[in-house]
Structure 1
C-alpha cells in the first residue's frame, strides 16, 4: 500500500477529505500554529486536526518536522527540523537554511519583552492572570519593559507600532480586544501562554544579559516555529515562522 493510499484510508476513518487535510497542513506550514480560541475558522481547523493528530504527526515527522499538541492551551505548533524547542530534547537534525525567513528586530525584541512580562504575571498572579493562562498588560508597560530590560524603544511612528502589534497578534503571541487602542492608557492586551513555546528561560536570560539589538539589524527565522533566542555575539537570532495567515 502506498503512502497516498494509507493517507486516504486514515482520512476516511475520520470522515475528513484530502482537501481538508491539505488546508490544515497548509495553515501549519504558513503560520506554524493552529490555536482553537483564535476564531471560528481556526477552532474548526483545530478540532479537525485533533481527529487526525496521529496522521498529521506521522506526515510531518517524515520530513523531520515536529508537531506538538498543547492540550491545556488547545493549540498545535509546528517546529522545523533542527529547531530548539523549549522544554523538549533536540531532534538531532540539521537546521534547513532554505526554511529561514526574516523577522524584524522590533518583532524579536517585543517577543522577548512579552516573555519577560508573562513570567512576571505568572509570579504575581492576581487580576493580571486570567483563567485561560493569559497575562494582561498595557501597551505602555510593554514599552517600559523594552526600554528597561532590553534598552530598546518601540518603533517611532504609530503606523509602525500598529504593524508590530498586528504581527504579534498574527503569530498568536497576543490577543487584542476589538476596540483596543494604543492611545487608551487603560486598554489591555493579553499575552498568550503560547509565548512559552518559543522563548525558554535560558533564551530570555541570555537576551537580558546581552547588548541591545542594533537598530536596523536583521533577524533570521525558520518559518515553522518562531522560536526566539539571543546568541552570545550581541545579536538576536529568531528561529521560527514567518507566516502570512491573518
Structure 2
C-alpha cells in the first residue's frame, strides 16, 4: 500500500514527506482555509494537487471530506458526524477524533449561523461570502436568542472568540483590539458546513429558558 501511494505521489510531483505533512495538519486542525495564511494556502493548494489520494486515505478511516471550492475551504468530519451538504451515513462509531465543544462554544456558533443566515437573506454578504458583525450586535443577538450575554470576563470572552477563530468560523480582532471600544468580527462562510439547518431550527423554536440545555456538539 505504501509503495502504491508513493508511486502515485511521484506521478503528481509530490514527495511522501509533503503528503505526510498535509495529512498531519489536516487531521490535527480538521480544517484548511486558503485565505487564512500563506501556510494554509500552500497546504490547500497541495490538497488540490492530490485531492483524490487524500480522500482515499481518509476514507479508510471513515473520515469524510467536505470541500467548498467557492470559499477555498476544506473541512473533515469524523465517523458518524452529521455533515451539511453530504449524505448521512449509518456509521455509529464513537471516535477519538471527536472533540467535545463546550456549551458556550455551541451556543455562540449557533448564534453566528443565525446571524449569517439573516445577512444572507438581506444580501449583506461580501464577495468572499463573509458577513461583518459588531461585537455589540453579537452580544444583543445572544441575549435575544439564548437569553444570556457573552461572557463578561474579558479573558473568557477572548478565549471563546479565539476558539472560533481556530475552527475558521470567524475572523476577529487581536486580543488587544478587543479592549479598545467597539470591535467587529467577520463571520466566515465555513459556518454553513459546521451547523446543520436542523440545529438552527431547534434554536429558533426553543424557548430561551431552555437554551441552557443545549447539547455539546462534536467537532473534529
Tell me which interval the TM-score lies in, with the shorter structure as reference length: over 0.9
Structure 1 stretches of 5 or more lacking a match? Answer: 215-233, 242-246
TM-align CA RMSD: 1.7
Per-residue CA deviations over 1:43-72 (Å, capped at 9, x if unaligned) read: 000000110000000000111111121110
Q: Distance in 2 between matches of 1:102 and 1:94?
A: 16
Higher helix proportion? 2
C-alpha distance in 2 between matches for 1:212 and 1:200 = 19
Structure 1 CA distance for aligned equivalents of residues 31 and 52 of structure 2: 17
Displacement of 1:207 after TM fit?
2.1
Give aligned pairs, total: 217
Report how far residue 177 of structure 1 moved: 4.5
- Secondary structure (helix, strand or coil) at the match of 1:34 reads strand
Report the equivalent of 2:219: 240
Q: Which residue of 2 aligns with 1:201?
A: 197
Deviations 1:159-201 (A, max 9, x none): 110111111111100012458435432x321100000001122
C-alpha separation between the residues in 1 aligned to 2:73 and 2:151? 30
What is the aligned partner in structure 2 of residue 134 from structure 1? 130
Which runs of 5 or more residues in structure 2 are unaligned? none
**Among residues 105, 119, 122, which one is paired with 2:120 in the alignment?**
122
> What is the TM-score when the length of structure 1 is the normalising length?
0.83
2:147 corresponds to which of 131, 146, 151: 151
1:156 offset after TM fit, Å? 2.2
CA contact (8 A) 1:207 1:236 kept: no
2:100 aligned counterpart, secondary structure:
strand
Equivalent residues of 2:100, 2:216 under 8 A apart: no
Task: Map Cα deviations across residues 48-98 of structure 1 (whole Å, 9 max, x no partner).
Answer: 011000000000011111112111011111011111011321122113243
**CA offsets per residue over residues 188-225 of structure 1, 9 Å max, x none?**
211000000011221111123235443xxxxxxxxxxx
